[in-house]
Structure 1
């Protein structure tokens, strides 16, 4: 496998200044006086200028890292050069080209285990299309029976919610841990629900959301040990957590963990992983088999012999072998910069004056001061924009106005209806108005407004300039004249759709 170039490693950088005239030098100077520790992350400004040049040349302010990270240009260049120099074949063969593909796949598995500090004797890696695919493998294969329990947080992604279909089909009961007003859960309440729903005679599954993708809340990983002491298998949804936080499976030995690599370093899309204990995978029973998962299939007949290689039993068809070398390079790339991310993307809101927006998501309980510290929340702000008269603005208008100002953000429930409901308390009651088969438009017509929130999320290439542009955007909406102009454009363009 080719080695990343020197430009993938952190570089020394003595100073940084905003690169566009629209950013106030006075504002940046004042920011540094208030948060001098920001200077400790200057290596990421060097990275921004060398590996994310298109952000400044296009003028786009990207604030949707939770939706998908921006890929470093060197990673794509390295991967393209590697593909151009070699011949790769399907891993389900023994040719030279296939052997090279298999070697790269095995190298990627080893890199994933190393990155998450998981013992290769205890854990293995199943490559999937994304974190949702990884979660589905567990859901469809878990041996749910009568008296089993499936416990999860209400503040969970829909891919975690979806496992309840497999649970109820198997006869298990489903129990939700209620959210706090800012998402996540209270540890004592979660422990009570786990204790009340455990079964001494049937397998039980606890799905833990490491970090909410909408409320910004991190759940305490310490609850893993408690759940396991009650006999639960623990599945960790780390799709959001792994993007900006260090995870050690040697310290938090969950039975299985789901990740998506594009959320971590942007390239490639279409590759995720289930990192699972081998002992746990052996207890799963898949409801079907496919090419690549078996050694022998009797036709006509019913005999099926699964592959001797454990991870191959869960990888349907041909894995994405052309993309896997970039996983190895991407993890190596991210390893050099991960310690800087919590300090760089530390978000704490201080309210002053009449609000033009309402922040709903959780904020950190303490201020980070050094590189390598971990925050107790993520790098997300979920909020509602308010009109100059104080009314909640439609999310569709905010998204439209943001696009007009070259800002990429996201609106809606972010595939996490429980998290959105937790922050918008009236929305929790409105969910009772749902009926089977209701569409989103029908539901919004029933409750009388658009549902969800506006989400701003930061990542590896985010800098002061990006946040400044978002703040200036909020000021535009707070100003009657500019707000009226944007609103009129929005109404006119909507009427022509």
Structure 2
């Protein structure tokens, strides 16, 4: 489009612990760990109220007694902040009842203390959680944004003049250069080898739709996908069927995900045969947003060896797992940035091989995707840059600089997340499984999702599942407590969780034992009619942990479950719920 692009490379991610008092220079991009600039500033800083207080005798400093007087040393103690590590490893457990539980937790999971840097992050970028008394456990729905990311982006917008990228003005050049910088940051974050490009979309669903509507399905093609997939993956079947392709489902296991051996058998059976075989597509869900299952990414390599084009839905996988496109060279991958680091919403991406994009057939063209259009007439010349052919209209150029900063931010903390979240998830599963009703001694919850089998012990290790719990709460009789009541009761305890089928009907049906009922659905089915037929609400209660989660969040969820175990406490909340319009309607 005639835009000039910046050649400045993104600065490497890392923590600058030696410049804790440094003031960021406006107009420049800061490194990934923005919050490191605020750590240790125990006085005169907006975060000071959230940091623990220290007395001089609690800290030791390296001093030269021969050159420092007593008054100098006292002044040094009063001026210097405590070291970052000291601030970070002191637990914020204000509730006396939680402290013994925290100590017991550390005895069982001592490796959790290796993630102390995330405690520092919680005290700074996510201090609003504790100020508001909110327990947020819906990270699979959307991650929370770090405050420093918003501040950095706001400073950039305040000092910059950005214009539509479809021009060559100075403001347009700046927008285009920041967009290119964001593309490079995405490719670097996912370790993409040469040959990949980034197409910015509204979200992961938009990225998946781009592939579905453009893939050259035809009679003889096959679209292979798992039942435990997001609706956006299921939706591609509409494009496949409209062009005469066969849709082949991989059955979900009882705890979600696909069976690797069965998947390979299906892929081999339906593989494209011959050099001129119609193109077929295999879509793999990296991690289920309801069952907590991670599917083996090696299935992508196997599918490619069988002649399939490959598509990875990484929306649920990318926020807490390392993905290397060099190790897993999938043809196309869909992500949403708000699920990774909370801001901005409305921006996702399709990370794809240019060779794969060249095979796609877009059903229309729009502003920005073309070079020449004959009007009236039929001649269309698409844009020279491959990514421009798929970005309809004007990209979200005001938000793209935040993508660069957000990826730098997340890269500093991502190595610690599997260790931290694995410990918290395992503790939560164990604690909830042990709860019993005070009147019947029957279980309070029924955990449906896949449980982790790997005990992550070191920073940098990857977990074999996500950090999602799908469960049902039970009455003392063993019947399911309505999810709508659980959501109401949780909100009264300032707990943000989610209930329902999570836009994943196949995964929900597998967990709830409703696969046959799903098969028998009439063509005019509605959710209300389906629930009436089943005699209960459909869906699960989902608790999902993420970037800012700590022990307090898990402890408060356990305390909430104990309320459900108490007949008197639960009954009081039930009466309140029935008094609400929602309760009466249900």
User: Among residues 542, 547, 570, which one is paired with 1:460 in the alignment?
Assistant: 547
CA distance in 2, matches of 1:474, 1:205: 43
User: Among residues 244, 247, 266, which one is paired with 1:171 in the alignment?
Assistant: 244
SS of the equivalent of 1:287 reads: coil
Equivalent runs, 1:411-490 vs 2, <5 Å: 411-425=499-513, 427-490=514-577
CA offsets, 1:384-405, max 9 Å, x none?
0111222111111111111111
CA distance in 2, matches of 1:158, 1:462: 27
CA distance in 1, matches of 2:34, 2:407: 15
CA distance in 2, matches of 1:260, 1:266: 10
CA offsets, 1:199-236, max 9 Å, x none?
22110100000000000000001111111110001100
* Cα distance change, pair 333–422 in 1 and its aligned pair in 2 (3 A): same
| Contiguous gaps of at least 5 residues in structure 2 | 1-26, 40-83, 437-441
1:94 paired with 2:168, answer yes
User: How much does 1:309 deviate?
Assistant: 0.8
| Contiguous gaps of at least 5 residues in structure 1 | none
User: How much does 1:195 deviate?
Assistant: 0.8
1:4 paired with 2:30, answer yes
Higher relative contact order (CA 8 A, sep 6+): 1
* Cα distance change, pair 394–129 in 1 and its aligned pair in 2 (3 A): same
CA distance in 2, matches of 1:370, 1:9: 22
* Cα distance change, pair 405–332 in 1 and its aligned pair in 2 (3 A): same
Q: Which has the larger radius of gyration?
A: 2
Give the equivalent residue in structure 1 for 2:70.
none
RMSD: 1.4
The 8 Å contact of residues 197 and 354 in structure 2, kept in 1 or not, is answered as yes
CA distance in 1, matches of 2:450, 2:501: 16
CA offsets, 1:75-124, max 9 Å, x none?
000000000000000000000000000000000000000000002x3100
User: Among residues 195, 213, 222, which one is paired with 1:140 in the alignment?
Assistant: 213
* Cα distance change, pair 403–3 in 1 and its aligned pair in 2 (3 A): same
User: Among residues 257, 279, 286, which one is paired with 1:184 in the alignment?
Assistant: 257
* Cα distance change, pair 488–113 in 1 and its aligned pair in 2 (3 A): same
Give the equivalent residue in structure 1 for 2:85.
13
User: How much does 1:8 deviate?
Assistant: 3.4
1:199 paired with 2:272, answer yes
The 8 Å contact of residues 379 and 457 in structure 1, kept in 2 or not, is answered as yes
CA distance in 1, matches of 2:484, 2:584: 15
Equivalent runs, 1:188-337 vs 2, <5 Å: 188-200=261-273, 201-337=277-413
The 8 Å contact of residues 18 and 28 in structure 1, kept in 2 or not, is answered as no
User: Among residues 153, 157, 163, which one is paired with 1:79 in the alignment?
Assistant: 153
SS of the equivalent of 2:318 reads: helix
The 8 Å contact of residues 281 and 310 in structure 2, kept in 1 or not, is answered as yes
CA offsets, 1:119-164, max 9 Å, x none?
2x31000000000000000000000011100000110000000000
CA distance in 1, matches of 2:129, 2:102: 19
CA offsets, 1:231-253, max 9 Å, x none?
00110000000010000000000
CA distance in 2, matches of 1:203, 1:22: 62
TM-score by length of 2: 0.83
Aligned length: 495
SS of the equivalent of 2:85 reads: coil
1:161 paired with 2:228, answer no
Give the equivalent residue in structure 2 for 1:393.
481
SS of the equivalent of 1:13 reads: helix
Give the equivalent residue in structure 1 for 2:457.
369
TM-score by length of 1: 0.97
